[in-house]
């Protein structure tokens, strides 16, 4: 038996978020498990996946004794009744299977399970036969898994990017200006009488008053509102290129050839000629 395989590589499907049951295939978790003599053994708690080969290896059955593994090749599905039939094992044979803790399956447990199901198991594995060469693993079509990968999907959405407010405020500026104002002034001219001007009619000396009105211009300051400028506010759309980055995960299937030549196993993409369109 090959000893370079990683330990505890058979893990529950529930712990593998990137794995799922293939579309169109039933998810048998929760189904009843029935023996060949028609007795209920327990229910399917989980599927145990070989992450190295990307295959379902076991049905994890939860029964009265605890958790036990049944090779997937021994399982026959009754979809109408939602039951997993194990036609090659009687109810008392299940009692001989070793139990395990819920979770990963160790290689030591697989060896115990192999010896419980096949008396020649130790002889076969010591001769270099693959652990999964038992007939219980030869038909693995009961449950199919699909591998997924993440793709970058870039979308766009409108978000608030702020706002622009335009307001006006009043400023006070002290200004000066020049204005010409006119006013009246009085010039008094004194002329002596030297030409013998007759003083007829001036018989008395007394007080007399002459009043001459004076005029002047004064500055009147008025303020008026005069439109000087208008603001037109509009938006325009600008397109910019932005680089987005993300780490994408991808699942890869690896084929492990143990005890066989490369010519024995064909690994190639399926085409229409393989009959997929006729299903």
Q: Give per-residue pLDDT as tens, 241-268.
A: 888 888 888 877 776 666 656 665 556 6
Is 80 within the bounds of a domain?
A: yes
Residue-wise pLDDT tens digits, 164-199:
888 888 889 898 889 898 998 988 888 887 766 555
Predicted local distance difference test score (pLDDT) of residue 4: 41
Predicted local distance difference test score (pLDDT) of residue 199: 54
Q: Cα 195 to the chain's mean position, in Å?
A: 122
Predicted local distance difference test score (pLDDT) of residue 7: 47
- CATH value at residue 132: 3.90.50.10
Dihedral angle, C-alpha 240, 245, 246, 247, nearest 10 °: 160
Domain count, the chain: 1
Is 205 within the bounds of a domain?
A: no
- Rounded Cα gap, residues 161 and 23, in angstroms: 43
- Rounded Cα gap, residues 7 and 256, in angstroms: 15
| Residues in the chain where the model's pLDDT stays below 50 | 1-7, 140-141, 273-279
- Rounded Cα gap, residues 226 and 5, in angstroms: 92
Question: By residue range, what is the domain housing residue 69?
Answer: 10-150+246-278
Q: Measured at the alpha carbon of residue 251, what is the angle toward residues 246 and 255, in degrees to the nearest 5? A: 155
Backbone angles phi, psi at 26, to 5 degrees: -75, 145
Is 37 within the bounds of a domain?
A: yes
Which of 7, 3, 131 is closest to 57 using CA atoms?
A: 131
- Report, in angstroms and rounded to the nearest whole number, the Rg of the chain calculated over CA atoms: 54
Is 38 within the bounds of a domain?
A: yes
Is 254 within the bounds of a domain?
A: yes
- Rounded Cα gap, residues 256 and 70, in angstroms: 22
Q: Is 195 helix (H, G, I), strand (E, B) or coil?
A: coil
How many of the other CB atoms lie within 10 Å of CB of 90?
A: 13
Is 155 within the bounds of a domain?
A: no
Start-end of H helices in 87-174: 91-94, 107-117, 121-126
Is 124 within the bounds of a domain?
A: yes
Predicted local distance difference test score (pLDDT) of residue 3: 40
């Amino acid at each position: 038996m090959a000893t370079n395989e990683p330990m505890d590589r058979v893990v529950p499907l529930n712990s593998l978020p990137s794995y799922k049951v293939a579309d169109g295939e039933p998810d048998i978790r929760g189904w009843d498990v029935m023996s060949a003599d028609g007795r209920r053994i327990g229910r399917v708690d989980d599927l145990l996946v070989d992450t190295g080969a990307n295959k379902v290896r076991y049905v994890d059955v939860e029964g009265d004794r605890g958790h036990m593994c049944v090779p997937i090749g021994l399982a026959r599905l009754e979809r109408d009744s939602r039951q997993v039939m194990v036609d090659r094992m009687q109810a008392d044979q299940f009692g001989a299977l070793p139990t395990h803790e819920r979770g990963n399956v160790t290689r030591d447990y697989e060896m115990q399970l192999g010896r419980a199901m096949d008396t020649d198991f130790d002889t076969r594995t010591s001769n270099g036969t693959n652990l999964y060469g038992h007939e219980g693993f030869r038909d693995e079509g009961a449950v199919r898994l699909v591998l997924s990968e993440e793709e970058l999907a870039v979308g766009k959405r409108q978000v608030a990017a702020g706002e622009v407010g335009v307001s006006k405020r009043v400023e006070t500026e002290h200004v000066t200006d020049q204005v010409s104002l006119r006013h009246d002034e009085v010039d008094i001219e004194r002329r002596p009488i030297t030409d013998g001007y007759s003083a007829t009619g001036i018989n008395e000396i007394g007080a007399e008053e002459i009043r001459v009105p004076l005029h002047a211009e004064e500055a009147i300051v008025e303020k008026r509102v005069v439109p000087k400028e208008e603001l037109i506010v509009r938006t325009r759309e600008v397109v910019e290129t932005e680089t987005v980055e993300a780490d994408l995960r991808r699942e890869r299937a690896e084929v492990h050839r143990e005890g066989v030549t490369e010519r024995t196993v064909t690994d190639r993409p399926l085409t229409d000629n393989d009959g997929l369109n006729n299903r």
